[in-house]
């Protein structure tokens, strides 16, 4: 009798098949959860790294400060630029200046002659520019001797708010060297209500 009682007690110490299956399922779930979590974290890190690389190397994201490009661009808007050095008159260019990034409009390239009338009309190689993006023309802060020839490997840029913009018309900024160029501004992404291609 005593032996039977001990055997019964020993058997009751072992888990039942249902308990074993429940524990196995719990361990499998925990392992699956850890694998999914690890995979999600690695994916997020990889996506973030790719986004940083794209924004640094190919499509910089820029925030507008000041009103030198109004009414086209307003303070606080966020833009996307694309790395390029291929510009035509009217393109919006982002470039580095004194550890900041400035955004202005491409007016003329290397070797072009730029002249500005007293009323603010801009002439490139003797022809007046059609500038529908301007709210008002202005001679602005120009201390150049006009007409002015753009030096080699440089571009001449101006802000759309001509009366307040300090740009290539002034020797404080001057013409932009190729190595200063960040890219061409193409897309407004913020605020979302103003999402649009820039021209």
The tokens for 83 are 């790395």
Instruction: Count CB-CB contacts under 10 A for residue 189.
Output: 13
- Whether the link from the prior residue into 71 is cis, omega within 30° of 0, is yes
Marked catalytic residue, from 28, 39, 55, 68: 68
Question: Is 104 annotated in the active site?
Answer: yes
Asked whether the beta carbons of 131 and 120 are under 8 A apart, the reply is: no
Exposed, middle or buried, 84 (CB in 10 Å: 0-12/13-18/19+)? middle
Exposed, middle or buried, 120 (CB in 10 Å: 0-12/13-18/19+)? middle
Strand, helix or coil at 167? coil
Marked catalytic residue, from 104, 165, 168, 184: 104
Instruction: Count CB-CB contacts under 10 A for residue 15.
Output: 10
Asked whether the beta carbons of 104 and 164 are under 8 A apart, the reply is: no
Positions marked active-site? 68, 104
């Amino acid at each position: 009798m005593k032996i039977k009682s001990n055997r019964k007690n020993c058997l009751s110490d072992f888990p039942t098949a249902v308990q074993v299956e429940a524990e196995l399922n719990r361990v499998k779930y925990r392992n699956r959860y850890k694998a999914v979590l690890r995979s999600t974290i690695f994916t997020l890190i990889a996506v973030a790294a790719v986004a940083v690389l794209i924004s640094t190397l190919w499509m910089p994201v820029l925030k507008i400060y000041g009103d030198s490009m109004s009414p086209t661009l307003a303070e606080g808007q966020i833009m996307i630029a694309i790395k390029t050095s291929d510009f035509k008159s009217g393109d919006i260019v982002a470039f580095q200046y004194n550890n900041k990034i400035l955004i202005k409009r491409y007016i003329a390239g290397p070797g072009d002659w730029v002249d500005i009338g007293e009323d603010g009309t801009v002439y490139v190689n003797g022809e007046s520019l059609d500038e529908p993006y301007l709210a008002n023309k202005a001679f602005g802060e120009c201390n150049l001797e006009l007409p002015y020839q753009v030096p080699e490997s440089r571009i001449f840029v101006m802000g759309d708010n001509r009366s307040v913009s300090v740009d290539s018309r002034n020797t404080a900024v001057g013409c932009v060297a190729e190595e200063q160029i960040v890219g061409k501004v193409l897309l407004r992404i913020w605020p979302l209500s103003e999402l649009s291609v820039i021209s």
